[in-house]
Amino acid sequence: MKKTLLVAALALASFLGVKAQTEYVPTEANLKSREEFRDMKLGIFLHWGLYSMFAQGEWYLQNAVPDRYEYAKVADAFYPHRFDARQWVRSIKEAGAKYICFTTRHHDGFSMWATKQSKFNIVEATPFGRDVLKELAQACKEEGIRLHLYYSHIDWMRDDYPMGRTGTNCGKTLATADWDNYYKFMNAQLTELLTEYGEVGSIWFDGWWDHEEDTVPFDWQLPGQYEMIHRLQPACLVGNNHHGAPQEGEDIQIFERDLPGEMTSGFAKHAAKVSRLPLETCQTMNGMWGYKVIDTNYKTADDIIRLLINTSGKGANLLMNVGPQPNGELPAVALDRLKSLGEWTSVYGETIYGTDAGDIKPQKWGVSTQKDGKLYLHITALNEIEMNENGERILHLPLERKVKSVTEFVGGAKVNFKKTKECITITLPGKVDVVDYVLVLQ
Ligand code: GLC
Nearest-CA residue for atom 8 of ligand 1: 207
CA 107 / ligand 1 centre spacing (Å):
9
pLDDT digits (tens, 9 = 90+) for 34-74: 999 999 999 999 999 999 999 999 999 999 999 999 999 99
Please say if the pLDDT value at position 103 is more than 60. yes
Kindly give the number of the ligand 1 atom that is closest to the alpha carbon of 58: 9
Q: What is the mean pLDDT of residues 20-27?
A: 80
Residue type, 139: A
Confidence of residue 115 (pLDDT cuts 50, 70, 90): very high
Q: What pLDDT, on the 0 to 100 scale, is given for residue 19?
A: 46
Q: What percent of the chain has pLDDT over 90?
A: 90
Alpha helix segments (H runs only) across 41-114: 60-64, 68-72, 85-94
Test site for ligand 1: of 289, 317, 319, most ligand atoms within 8 A of the Cβ: 289
| Cβ 98 vs Cβ 145: under 8 Å | yes
CA 5 / ligand 1 centre spacing (Å):
42
- DSSP bridge pairs for 370: 356, 375
Q: How many residues does the chain have?
A: 442
Q: What is the mean pLDDT of residues 272-286?
A: 94
Please say if the pLDDT value at position 8 is more than 60. no
Test site for ligand 1: of 204, 209, 241, 285, most ligand atoms within 8 A of the Cβ: 241
Please say if the pLDDT value at position 108 is more than 60. yes
The 10 Å CB-count burial string (b at 16+, else e) for 113-133 is bbbebbebbbbebbebebbbb
Q: Dmax over Cα atoms in the chain, in whole Å? A: 78
Please say if the pLDDT value at position 277 is more than 50. yes
Please say if the pLDDT value at position 262 is more than 80. yes
Quick one: which of 265, 183, 193 has its CA closest to 224? 183
Q: What pLDDT, on the 0 to 100 scale, is given for residue 261?
A: 86
Confidence of residue 15 (pLDDT cuts 50, 70, 90): very low
As for ligand 1, residues whose beta carbon falls within 6 Å of it are 47, 58-59, 206, 241, 256, 282, 289
Q: What pLDDT, on the 0 to 100 scale, is given for residue 17?
A: 40
Nearest-CA residue for atom 1 of ligand 1: 206
Q: What pLDDT, on the 0 to 100 scale, is given for residue 1?
A: 41
Cα distance between residue 316 and residue 40, in whole Å: 9
Q: What pLDDT, on the 0 to 100 scale, is given for residue 272?
A: 64
Residue type, 185: F
Residue 298: is it exposed, middle or buried by C-beta count within 10 angstroms (0-12/13-18/19+)? Answer: middle
Please say if the pLDDT value at position 16 is more than 90. no
Average pLDDT, the chain: 94
Sheet holding 393-398, edge to edge: 393-398, 423-428, 417-419
CA 411 / ligand 1 centre spacing (Å):
41
Q: What pLDDT, on the 0 to 100 scale, is given for residue 271?
A: 59
Test site for ligand 1: of 256, 265, 282, 321, most ligand atoms within 8 A of the Cβ: 256
Q: Which domains does the chain possess? A: 2-356 (3.20.20.80), 366-441 (2.60.40.1180)
pLDDT digits (tens, 9 = 90+) for 151-201: 999 999 999 999 999 999 999 999 999 999 999 999 999 999 999 999 999
For the entire predicted model, the pTM comes to 0.94
Sheet holding 374-379, edge to edge: 356-357, 366-371, 374-379, 437-441, 406-408
CA 206 / ligand 1 centre spacing (Å):
7
Cα distance between residue 207 and residue 240, in whole Å: 8
Ranking 29-33, 290-294, 384-388 by mean pLDDT, the lowest is: 384-388
